[in-house]
Amino acid sequence: MRREQPSVSIIVMADRHPEELRACLRHLGGLATAPDEVVVVPDDAASRQAGVERTTGQIVVFLDATSRVEPDWLDELLAPYQDSAVVGVGGRVLYGEHDGGDERLGETGCLLPNGRLTTNFGADPGRPVQVDHLPSAQASFRREALQQLGSIPSRYPGRSYREVTETSLRLSAAGGRLIFQPAALVRAPALRFPPGMDLLRIREGYFHDRDQVVVLVQAVGWRSPLVPRFAWTTLRAQQDQLRLFADRVRSRGPRAEKRAADRFLETVKPLVWVAAELTGVAAGFPAAAAAAQGQRRRARDPTDAG
Amino acid sequence: MRTTAYVLVADPNFLAASLRSYYEHVDRIVLSYDETSTSWTGTPIPVQECLAIIEALDTEGKCVHAPGHYARLEHHPLDNETYQRQQALDLAAEGADWVVQLDTDEVMLDPGQFFRSLNRADAVGAGAMDYPSRWLYAQVGPGRYLETSTRFGRAAASYPGPLTVRAGTRLRQARQADVPLYRVDLRAWNTDPHHHHESTVHEVISPDAAVLHYSWVRDHDTMQRKFGWSGHAGEYSHPVVYQRWARRQLRPRRTALTSPLRRSEWFRVVSLPEGLGR
């Protein structure tokens, strides 16, 4: 079936798991409406922009290689583009057996006034809704909107989902409409940190907060109240961790059976989390300044990749 | 987007100001009242006086009468309130996308902002909009009021229930409904002491754009009668509630200054333009 739709390029972001990529491509082969081209690029910082440059479709779709699309996925994803004000569309992502967390409907893809972002891209509000940013697992943009923006950033090494967040927020801040289309469904394996990987979570917490400052500064600028509000929000949120620490210091109970070293680690974990979050926010400011400087340099000299 | 409203016709105080504040912005207003002019607790209510006020301001013929039997004394007053609201809401929902459910002692200070927020709530797919009310506890002089606040005297939002709901919503109790909320507040962090400090705030507005809730801004006689007909009559009918209100109204400055020392019930003294609630 041929659409009377804009041409579409799908850029599959693949990491080192060929079996996942094969499954993803197999599902793409089963689409009711085929895309104009499918390109596979490595899932790293610079590849999104490289993918955009190597393709020609009027709509550029980024898809994680772990995603398994439904047959009508592409038709549903493209439907909101009939509105010319729409510059980006993302779809619903169900991880594992998760049913989507519909209790937080209305909190999908929001940039809140306290500087935080909500995700909740597994929810099904029953119809397309306007959002401030899109899920990185499946996000699509009008090519001309991306071109007006310059290029997709590559300043978040190892955390390429932030590039989609920043791109979405910048388009939204520039007045473009972003739509979350729940009928465009993909399934992906459950996101879980393996047991005993708390250090990894803490590291993620640090980078999450650092990158959030950078994303905000890039999207809404230094003068926006969202940047100091995010710092204040993070600081306020630590009271729960401090309470947890106090509870653990006071309580004994079944934990008394554990080894002293394990007890100590469990007790201080909330403090480590507080330190990670606060240093993450603090590190975000120089990182944002460096990103802004790099952007100015590139504006002066477009050949500067720095 | 088609928006209608319903009002429960029972209390003439602030009724005209309340209706006038959003009259231009809605297509239809359903007037729900008990056909025997009896309250949920069985006390008489001045329905005819209210209807006369409404008739005078309904210049475009938007108001639709919906009398019914709501003084069901065998039921709890709150159940009666929920029942009457649901009947009115269902009528108002016909041909509408959203239904405004303001009480007649609530006045929109900035209807333009209210309906801009509603447009945003609609766009993000919310099922109802929680919009901040500033709760006026007592009038303490011409244009001067005791208003509930944060512990240290900043403006605080109160949420008696979503002030607009999507057509087709089932109410759980009074104005409350178990639907995804779009929550507007006066700061980027929750300001309502009755909500968790981490409650999501979707949008921030100025206190000058909130809804003014002239909840207990009444004379002594009306206050005593209000405690009789209210859905919360059981809770308010303790003599201490009225005595505390009367004492605080008499000594507003002391009430505001001692607020930080209390565990709850914090107030500040505010000036509002005369005639807002007229």
Across the interface, which of A106, A113, A233 has its CB nearest the CB of B180? A106
Q: How far is B201 from chain A (nearest CA, A)?
A: 7
Contact B188 A126 (CB under 8 A): no
User: pTM of the full predicted structure?
Assistant: 0.88
Distance separating alpha carbons of residues A218 and A156, to the nearest angstrom:
12
Nearest to A70 by CA among A142, A12, A138: A138
Q: How many residues does chain A have?
A: 306
Q: Could you count the other beta carbons within 10 Å of the beta carbon of residue B166?
A: 21
**What are the phi and psi torsion angles at A289 (to 5°)?**
-65, -40
- B-chain CB neighbours of A90 within 8 Å are none
Contact B202 A112 (CB under 8 A): yes
Contact B201 A112 (CB under 8 A): yes
What is the DSSP code (8-state) at residue A254? G
Across the interface, which of A106, A113, A233 has its CB nearest the CB of B182? A106
Tens of pLDDT, residue by residue over A78-130, are 999 999 999 999 999 998 766 555 556 678 999 999 999 998 899 888 899 99
Pairing outcome for strands B203-204 and B181-185: parallel
- B-chain CB neighbours of A113 within 8 Å are 188, 201-204
Q: How far is B217 from chain A (nearest CA, A)?
A: 32
Q: What is the per-residue pLDDT for B194?
A: 86
- B-chain CB neighbours of A86 within 8 Å are none
Check CB contact of A113 with chain B, cutoff 8 Å. yes
Nearest to A148 by CA among A174, A178, A113: A174
Sign of the alpha-carbon torsion through B194, B198, B202, B207: positive
- Contact (Cβ atoms closer than 8 angstroms) between residue B104 and residue B22: no
Across the interface, which of B124, B188, B204 has its CB nearest the CB of A129? B124
Q: What is the per-residue pLDDT for A2?
A: 47
What is the DSSP code (8-state) at residue A80? G
Separation in Å, CA A25 to CA A16, A69, A138, A181? 15, 9, 14, 22
Q: How many residues does chain B have?
A: 278
Pairing outcome for strands B98-100 and B106-108: unpaired
- B-chain CB neighbours of A235 within 8 Å are none
Interface confidence: ipTM more than 0.95: no
- 3-state SS assignment for residue A11: strand
Distance separating alpha carbons of residues B216 and A285, to the nearest angstrom:
48
Separation in Å, CA B54 to CA A86, B3, B58? 43, 19, 6
Please calculate the CA angle B106-B112-B113 and round it to the nearest 5 degrees.
80
Element (H, E) at B82: helix B77-93
- Contact (Cβ atoms closer than 8 angstroms) between residue A120 and residue A109: yes
Q: What is the per-residue pLDDT for A240?
A: 86
How far is C-alpha A209 from the chain's CA centre?
13
Amino acid at A304: D
Sign of the alpha-carbon torsion through A48, A52, A54, A56: positive
Check CB contact of A183 with chain B, cutoff 8 Å. no
Q: What is the per-residue pLDDT for A35?
A: 95
Distance separating alpha carbons of residues A126 and B188, to the nearest angstrom:
28
Q: Could you count the other beta carbons within 10 Å of the beta carbon of residue A65?
A: 24
Nearest to A11 by CA among A129, A133, A164: A164
Distance separating alpha carbons of residues B146 and A30, to the nearest angstrom:
66
- 3-state SS assignment for residue A255: helix
Spell out the alpha helix ranges (H) of chain A.
18-29, 47-54, 73-78, 143-149, 161-173, 198-220, 226-250, 260-300
CA-nearest residue to A105 within chain B is: B180
Q: Could you count the other beta carbons within 10 Å of the beta carbon of residue B26?
A: 21
In three state form, how does the secondary structure of A84-112 look?
Answer: CCEEEEEEEEEECCCCCCHHHCCCCCCEC
User: Sheet harboring B133-141: ordered strands across?
Assistant: B106-108, B211-213, B133-141, B144-148, B267-271
Q: What is the per-residue pLDDT for A306?
A: 45
Nearest to A210 by CA among A243, A242, A162: A162
Distance separating alpha carbons of residues A187 and A206, to the nearest angstrom:
28
Q: B136 pairs with which residues across the strands?
A: B147
As a whole number of angstroms, the longest Cα–Cα distance in chain B is: 51
DSSP string, B130-150: E-PEEEEEEEEETTEEEEEB-
Contact B125 A129 (CB under 8 A): yes
Q: What is the per-residue pLDDT for B233?
A: 57
**Average pLDDT, consecutive stretches of 10 residues, N- to C-terminus, chain B (278 residues):** 96 94 96 94 92 96 96 92 96 97 95 96 94 94 93 93 96 94 96 88 96 88 69 65 87 93 92 74
- 3-state SS assignment for residue B166: strand
User: What's the token pair of residue A194?
Assistant: 């393996």
Counting as low any pLDDT under 50, the low residues of chain A are 1-2, 306
- A-chain CB neighbours of B124 within 8 Å are 106, 108, 110, 129-131
Across the interface, which of A113, A129, A236 has its CB nearest the CB of B123? A129
DSSP string, B207-238: GGGSEEE-TT-S-HHHHHHHHHHSTTHHHHTS
Q: What is the per-residue pLDDT for A200?
A: 75
- 3-state SS assignment for residue A158: coil
